[in-house]
Structure 1
Amino acid sequence: MFDGDRMNNMYSIKIEWSAAYECIISLYVYIHEKERKNLHLGTTWKEETTKLLPDSFAAELADERWEVLHRLVLLVAQSPRKASVADFLDWLEEIPPGEIYERLAPWVETIPLNLGEIRDHSLSLLTRWNEHYFSKVEPGILESLERSACEMKELAKKTSPVELIDQVTNGIWIEPMNDLQEVILIPQYHCAPTSVLDFYRGMTTCLYPVRDAGKRQPEPLLELLPITQCLADEKRLQILGRLAGSACTLGELQQHVSLAKSTVHHHVTALRRAGLIRAHYTGSTTVAYYSLRDSFVDRLPALLRSYLESEGRKE
């Protein structure tokens, strides 16, 4: 997958974990309705979560335009105090807006002038969100995320950065580039099975999904069902067949299956989330092209057998 020049420009990997990341991502998922329909949280999660919130706070979040997720992720990554959510929020409250600017400036091209106002608003939202919802999250979920981070640190010692990202995200392939120096990997639960990816100057953050977080045992159906659903669709099979020949852009796939671009995008998103294809990124959050992730051909029989055996043990 690599040529010599790209290998020479290989970026480094950093694996991070703090409950502050998950607190931020969980609030983001609650606020952004359109992001939830494909998540493992289920259709009743927001309704059940809303019951935990004061009515006034739920009403405030219903009309929220909170768009600083990625910048807050950058601040968590740089914070010297993040052993707990409360620890990070105390630090965030204490640092002056000028320091926030200095911490963001190397990575973010456009920084709002009202950083103090944004910090205070974000701090208020996160403090109340942590009090009413996040502090009540099942401890096993956070333990699973921390365990995943430890496992990834060990795996990073023997796996190339691009292959490690491909493995933990189920098909995101971040190409080595001259100006990309570091990718920060952060395990998360609330957005599973999707990944939250963002590119900055010289750095990328990737919050990768841990689909079995909080489960006593892995659930093969969570991985098996998206694969079988994709394979049951004729157009998605046509896309897989085209990618078996060579990598393609979205436009090339559109020409092959003769569908609207938005429909093809929906199909390739489903295929990527199921781990059947790779989405290749070359410096922005727009996918450059797609390729077949043919390891699923060998993975499918093992998944099916694991599922059948686990169901058989329930009898």
Structure 2
Amino acid sequence: MHSLYSIKVEWSAAYECIISLYAYIYEKERKHLQLGSAWKEETTRMLPDSFAAELADERWEVLHRLVLLVAQSPRKASVADFLEWLELIPPGEIYERLAPWVETIPLNLGEIRDHSLSLLKRWNEHYFSKVEPRILDSLEQSARQTEELAKTLSAIETIDQVTHGIWIEPMSELQEVVLIPQYHCAPTSVLDFHRGIATCLYPVRDAGRLHPEPLLELLPITQCLADEKRLQILRCLSNGTCTLGELQQQVSLAKSTVHHHVTALRRAGLIHAHYTGSSTIAYYSLRGQFIDRLPVLLHSFLENGGKQQ
């Protein structure tokens, strides 16, 4: 039997600065994000033309390494504080901090650090420093709420609740999961495994709003339930767990199409995605609590008159 890992809840604006740049750069993922293309266009207007052009060609693949460094940094009270620490830390120390967790570390750590630092400094200057403070306050509040939640639920249940369906199975090599609230990639969770540690940047969809907006959770659920193939997938999973291949056989669709459907169902919180020590989903199961959650959301939406705060 595998021992259960522990969880740690982290919060620093440095995490959100990194994830916001990630959201801006990755075109393929942005169509799934709550902020959408309008945010990209608005943000581009805030950037110098030369910097926007540089980011348009960017292939920035070091998100998880930087997230691990933020988690270990003794200086992260602010973005500027973390970036100053990152600038001064010797490449050898970066290697020592990453070596226990990352299997392959590039030899040119100094160059990667300098490049990442240049991007983040300019991103912070032109965009992130201008983000509505209420958004960051909401994320900090979410971190405190998740810490309280973890006192009453198991580690697995806590992760499931804040991510709306990510289920990280206990594995002998997995020691700790770091939970970090984020806004810019909502409703997606950004999950990475690094040997004995996993980092999960979980979504806070209504960060910055004065009151919770039920429509942000209600709309993805109702959109999923309005699709016949997604309903068939839910019925398959009501009979037990299934891998992607097993679901494909049962609903007779191309694997890429089934993957698209289960991704939408997972983001809406209707199914669990089970992970067994890597960032590849092992199998899926029904997340039955959405059945009770739906009328609550619907009542809340109707009572509020559908007004966004």
* TM-score above 0.5: yes
**1:116-168: CA deviations, max 9, x gaps?**
00000000000000000000000000000000001111111111000000000
Report the Cα distance in structure 1 between the residues aligned to 2:4 and 2:246, rounded to whole angstroms. 28
1:43 positional shift: 2.3
**1:30-75: CA deviations, max 9, x gaps?**
1111111111113210110011111111111111111100000000
Matched, 1:59 2:59: no
Report the Cα distance in structure 2 between the residues aligned to 1:197 and 1:226, rounded to whole angstroms. 21
Aligned to 2:176: 182
Aligned to 2:146: 152
SS for the counterpart of 1:30 is helix
Indicate which of 282, 294, 297 corresponds to 1:300: 294
Aligned to 2:91: 97
Aligned to 1:39: 33
Indicate which of 121, 125, 135 corresponds to 2:129: 135
Report the Cα distance in structure 2 between the residues aligned to 1:140 and 1:233, rounded to whole angstroms. 36
Indicate which of 270, 273, 282 corresponds to 1:276: 270
Aligned to 1:123: 117
SS for the counterpart of 1:290 is strand
Number of aligned pairs?
308
Aligned to 1:14: 8
Amino acid at match of 2:198: T
**1:78-134: CA deviations, max 9, x gaps?**
000000000000000000000000000000000001000000000000000000000
Matched, 1:83 2:70: no
**1:266-310: CA deviations, max 9, x gaps?**
000000000000000000111100000010111111111111111
1:200 positional shift: 0.6
Matches within 5 A, 1:196-275: 196-275=190-269
Report the Cα distance in structure 2 between the residues aligned to 1:249 and 1:154, rounded to whole angstroms. 33
TM-score normalized by structure 2? Answer: 0.98
TM-score normalized by structure 1? Answer: 0.96
Of all paired residues, the percent bearing the same amino acid is 81
Indicate which of 22, 26, 29 corresponds to 2:23: 29
Report the Cα distance in structure 1 between the residues aligned to 2:307 and 2:190, rounded to whole angstroms. 36
CA RMSD of aligned residues (A): 1.0
Report the Cα distance in structure 1 between the residues aligned to 2:48 and 2:264, rounded to whole angstroms. 36
Report the Cα distance in structure 2 between the residues aligned to 1:285 and 1:313, rounded to whole angstroms. 37
Runs of 4+ with >6 A deviation: none
Q: What stretches of structure 2 of length at least 5 have no aligned partner?
A: none
Report the Cα distance in structure 2 between the residues aligned to 1:147 and 1:86, rounded to whole angstroms. 21
SS for the counterpart of 1:74 is helix
1:312 positional shift: 6.7
SS for the counterpart of 1:307 is helix
Amino acid at match of 1:162: I
Q: Is the 8 A contact 2:47 2:126 kept in 1?
A: yes
Report the Cα distance in structure 2 between the residues aligned to 1:236 and 1:66, rounded to whole angstroms. 34
- Structure 1 pair 78/232, CA: closer, same or farther in 2 (3 Å)? same
- Structure 1 pair 189/313, CA: closer, same or farther in 2 (3 Å)? closer
